[in-house]
Amino acid sequence: MCGIVGYIGKNDSIKPVIEGLSRLEYRGYDSAGISYKESSDIITLKKEGKLDNLKSEIKKHNINSKIAIGHTRWATHGEVNDVNAHPHQNELFAIVHNGIIENADRIKSELSSKYSYKSQTDTENFLNLLTSKYEKLNDVRSAVLETFKEIEGNSAFVVMCKLTNKLWAIKRSAPLVCGIDAATRDLYISSDPYALVGFANKIYFPQNEVLCECDPSKVNDEIQFFELDGSASHRYELQKKDLNLNVSEKGIYEHYMLKEIHEQPTLIKSLVDYYTTGEGLESLKSIDNKFKRVHIAACGTALHAGYLVKNFLEKENKVPVQIDFASEFRYRNPLLSSDELGVFISQSGETADTLACQELCSESKLKTLSIVNVEGSTLFRDCNYNLLIKAGVEIGVASTKAFTQQVLVGLILSKYLKNELNNDDFKNELSSLSSKVNEVLDRKDEIKQIANEIYNKNGFIFTGRGDHYPIALEGALKLKEIAYVHAEGYAAGELKHGPISLIDENMVNIALVTPDLFDKTFSNAQEVKARKGIMVIVGTENNEQLSNIADYYFGLDYSGLSSTKPVLTNVVLQLLSYYIAKLKGTDIDKPRNLAKSVTVE
């Protein structure tokens, strides 16, 4: 979703801000803008569409500036256009904002007679309120604090003022970091530490409602923190060790998604080492395992991984598990008890609904555990225990490698709790999984061929049973997300309770017919075939029954795999979605309307 980058120092401010914004492009956005200070003027340039539009605009100006703030906007209030893009500026201030101001209408009704509104955004309310506070207080820090006190909802703001060479940043339940390059003393602010890699080598994570004031003139004390009452604050964390945030390049691949799919065999292997010998083992050992029940909450792909984690914990560990969409869990008044464990699965660790569930569990005195990719993310910092999925930076909006790693970390947790993590059978299974994923990647032309045959069909129903039901859901999500076609995932046994009425010669059924519950799933596939549906079967290899009814058949060798079969099947579906999307010509890495990290509810 929206991205923020700010710079203040001795050097050109435009370069790091634009570089930071390009690193945040993967999060999804629809316009971009920058405000910079030149002499004592603030100049704002902003453009609808891709960052390249803004870059072209910047090239028209001969800029000499040492202070800038930039923003990529994912529209919430007001349509996508230049005016609604951030930053928003008036005679005194320029500001950027991530999140939603929930009391925007009330502020506007109080201020609109005195201050002008140029955009349809909620953000301008902060700008006008800030101006009104400044007129009374004549001090920017106090004005920012007083303004923020009146803002309801979860947001992060960065403020630049025409009158001083400082930047201010403050947030409530929205990501925000600030950093310093210890050598040059240049200062940075961002909504994502990834934007600061290679620029700042000391990164601070302020807590909610702590103001960061960046002032390069304060030698050795350039970043200061303040509470809402103006007193000095110590509620921030300094990054303790290097964050695992290498900048990712596409390399030989046409898209990040394809590259990330190909990274999976290697990641699977190193995950085993990490959890059997490395730091990962220490994180498993830190978990107090005396919980009576588990609550899992997550969104989208991470939730699908959660369904498998639930299956593992219930089947293998006999622990009851409750699982919910994070957006539902937080409002359904779940029955929570302090002898239970809250498990939150997330690639970004910044998904607003998932964070709210973690908070809810913490308030109810549950211990909380994250299965998360981004070390240092809010979820990572807020949970009692963290199991990193070690997927590296995932740039494609469509989550692929993170799903695989989330499922495997769930399985690793389950094995650890059963004292079976070091069993050779388990290690061999993961090593075999890695090789089999490689084999699937080597057969990608077969998958491309199937995509060629079906990409222009009307609709797609993915079906599976048991551990393959979450894979049916995930396969359908991936396809609709990047190919913009209607796709649904169903438990195979549910088809006849309604959706089967959709089956005709234009409807594709991607049936996952695998060794588990084979007969049951096979008969569901026959029911579809009898109604002339187009049958794509992904599952057990070399099976005559399957080849007889399949229009297209992709067989998989599941030998040696037990709980990890669904992970292998899912790689086929990742590639199928990818090739269908490619044939449709969509923007695969940044599909329309989507954001990589969903920081509003």
Minimum distance between the CB of residue 299 and ligand M6R, rounded to whole angstroms? 4
Closer by beta carbon to ligand M6R, 306 or else 334: 306
Total of residues contacting ligand M6R (CB under 6 A): 16
Supply φ then ψ for residue 380, to 5 degrees: -60, -45
596 in active site: yes
Footprint on residues 466-505 left by ligand M6R (CB under 6 A): 477, 481
303 closest CA partner among 329, 325, 327 = 325
The enclosing H or E element of 528 equals helix 518-529
Assess contact for 373 and 405: CB atoms under 8 A. Answer: yes
Pick one of 461, 550, 598, 600: the residue that binds ligand M6R (CB under 6 A).
Answer: 598
Determine the Cα angle at 289 with ends 287 and 292, to 5°: 135
Q: Catalytic annotation on 365?
A: no
- 346 near ligand M6R (CB under 6 A): yes
Position 397 contacts ligand M6R (CB under 6 A): yes
| 25 alpha carbon, distance to own chain's centre | 13
For the range 326-333, what are the long-range contacts, defined as Cβ-Cβ under 8 Å and sequence gap of 24 or more? Answer: 326/297, 326/298, 326/299, 326/351, 326/353, 326/354, 326/356, 326/357, 327/299, 327/353, 327/601, 329/295, 329/297, 329/357, 329/360, 330/297, 330/356, 330/357, 330/360
Single-letter amino acid, residue 582: K
Q: Catalytic one among 2, 161, 299, 357?
A: 2
Strand partners, 371: 345, 387
Taking CB under 6 A as the binding criterion, the range among 165-173, 224-232, 392-400, 523-531 that sits at the site for ligand M6R is 392-400
Backbone angles phi, psi at 177, to 5 degrees: -135, 160
| CB within 8 Å of 119: residues ≥ 6 apart | 78, 83, 84, 88
Report the 10 Å Cβ neighbour count for 103.
13
Show the site string, 276-305: x = touches ligand M6R by CB under 6 A, - = not: -----------------------xxxx---
- Find tokens 């028209």 and name the residue: 60
Q: What is the C-alpha separation between 347 and 431, in angstroms, rounded?
A: 23
Q: Which is nearer to ligand M6R, 131 or 351 (CB)?
A: 351
Min. distance of Cβ 383 from ligand M6R in angstroms? 13
Task: Tell me the two tokens of residue 403.
Answer: 């799903």
Give the residue with the Cβ less far from ligand M6R, 54 or 402.
Answer: 402
CA distances (Å), origin 482, targets 290, 475, 536: 41, 11, 19
With binding defined as CB under 6 A, does residue 351 bind ligand M6R?
yes
Query: Minimum distance from CB of 511 to ligand M6R (Å)?
Result: 22
Query: Which lies closer to ligand M6R via its Cβ, residue 144 or residue 261?
Result: 261
Task: Pick one of 31, 368, 434, 597: the residue that binds ligand M6R (CB under 6 A).
Answer: 597
Identified binder of ligand M6R from the candidate list 128, 276, 348, 574, rule CB under 6 A: 348
Cα(248)–Cα(499) distance, integer angstroms: 41
Q: Closest distance between ligand M6R and the C-beta of residue 120, in Å?
A: 26
Cβ 474 to ligand M6R shortest distance, Å: 8
| Of the candidate residues 174, 319, 398, 556, the single one contacting ligand M6R (CB under 6 A) | 398
Of residues 166, 436, 478, 596, which has the active-site annotation?
Answer: 596
Residues 33-92 that bind ligand M6R (CB under 6 A): none
| Angstrom distance (rounded) from CA 112 to CA 114 | 5
* Contact status: 354 vs ligand M6R (CB under 6 A): yes
> Which of the residues 418 through 477 are near ligand M6R (CB under 6 A)?
477
Stretch that binds ligand M6R, among 232-240, 273-281, 307-315, 340-348 (CB under 6 A): 340-348
Nearer to ligand M6R, 300 or 533 (CB): 300
Catalog residues that contact ligand M6R under the rule CB under 6 A: 299-302, 346-348, 351, 354, 397-399, 477, 481, 597-598
Return the active site residues: 2, 596
